[in-house]
Structures are given as structure tokens and as C-alpha cells.
Amino acid sequence: MYNVILSDPAWKQGKGGKKSVRENSSGGKLDYETITLDDIKEIHRQVRDLSMNNHAFFCWTIEKYLRQTEDMMYDLGYKLHSRMIWNKVTGIPAAFTIRFGHEYLLWFWYGKFQPIAKEMRGKYHSVFHEKVKAHSLKPNVSYDMIRNLYPDAKRIELFCRNKRRGFDGWGNEIKSDININGFIESKKSAEGLFAFV
């Protein structure tokens, strides 16, 4: 069904700043619920199985989860094409050491690598700059890039909070375009964002 997947997993983390009493958190409570790495992996596996044999997978991650994200995707049969960096310009407040002013957008592929639009070759840099606007809101340039690289693709965004032009969406704050077997959307579930059925 899909030949381009974009995922912004609900990693267990905090906002930064003062230490929170919340488990696995280094800061204030997030604006959304989080789920375990195992559940994120299972969601990715199910969407992989709903997708074309050959597809691209773009996955957002942070420094804390960079290695786990790559290991998870390798376990699912993906190969890494590129680590792209979003320079947020301002970054989030310093925690205990430095101000983390970047996130990673990892570009994986499954099956055979899908060529990009010829006219887009060399048009994008591995580092892009866009000022952060709100917590968890990803930069417009990343959506434009994916649409331009794969203009004719059937695309989906996982864990989205708002639908974007050219992407089907799946998340607990929108009316989802697909049903991922084994998960129901529930803001009040015991697991937080999603619960097994």
C-alpha cells in the first residue's frame, strides 16, 4: 500500500528543564502520551507489512534514542541510507550539561532502494535549519523534502497530531486513515497512547 513512511515515535522522555518525578523523564510532562520502544517497534513492523515490498522509511529520533532507533530498524530488516539533522536554531532548555538543539531524521529503505525524482538529486542538504515552533512540531522543510523526493508515492505519517498534505495519517489525535491490527487509539489507555486489543 505505502511506499513512503514517516514516523515521529512517542519516545519516553521529558521536556527538559527541572527534573520531573515522572518515570524515564528528565523534565516536565509532555503534551502527549508516550509508549515503550517495544510498542513502537511493533507498530513499525505492522506498517512495514502493510507497505510495498520496496519502500522508504523516514524516522525522527533524538540523541537519547539514536542507537536504539537504528537497532530497532535493522531488526525489522531496514537499511540506513542517511542520518539527517534538523538544527532547531534555538534548541530546548539546557538539562544538566548542554542545550540539545537538534533532532535526527533517519532515512531507511526496505527491499530495493527506491530512486528519488531525478530533478531532486543534490537539491537537499543533510543538515536543515528551521526554528522550532512548538514542542514535537516538526519542520515544514522535512515534509516538503519527502514530497519532492518521492512526488508520486503513497505516503503515511505515523504518530501524527495533524494531517499534512500528501500524507495519510495515523495517531491518537486525528481520524486515522488506516487501522493497525493489534492497536486501538485511546487517549486514556493504560499504556498511554495506544493499547493492545
| Three cell numbers written together for 108 | 531507511
pLDDT tier, 176 (very low <50, low <70, confident <90, very high otherwise): confident
Instruction: For cell 526554528, name the residue.
Output: 131
- Does this model's pTM top 0.85? no
| Three cell numbers written together for 165 | 498534505
Average pLDDT over residues 75-84: 98
* CATH code for the domain in which residue 180 is found: 3.40.50.150
Give the domain extent around 191: 2-196
User: What DSSP string runs through 24-93?
Assistant: T-SSSPPSS----HHHHHHHHHHHHHTEEEEEEEEEEE-GGGHHHHHHHHHHTT-EEEEEEEEE-SS-PP
In this predicted structure, the answer to whether residue 93 has a pLDDT above a threshold of 90 is: no
How does pLDDT run across 48-63, given as a tens digit for each residue? 999 999 999 999 999 9
Whether the CB-CB separation of 3 and 108 falls below 8 Å is answered with no
pLDDT value of position 81 = 98
How does pLDDT run across 15-50, given as a tens digit for each residue? 544 433 334 444 445 455 779 999 999 999 999 999
Instruction: For cell 539527517, name the residue.
Output: 84
- Total count of domains within the chain: 1
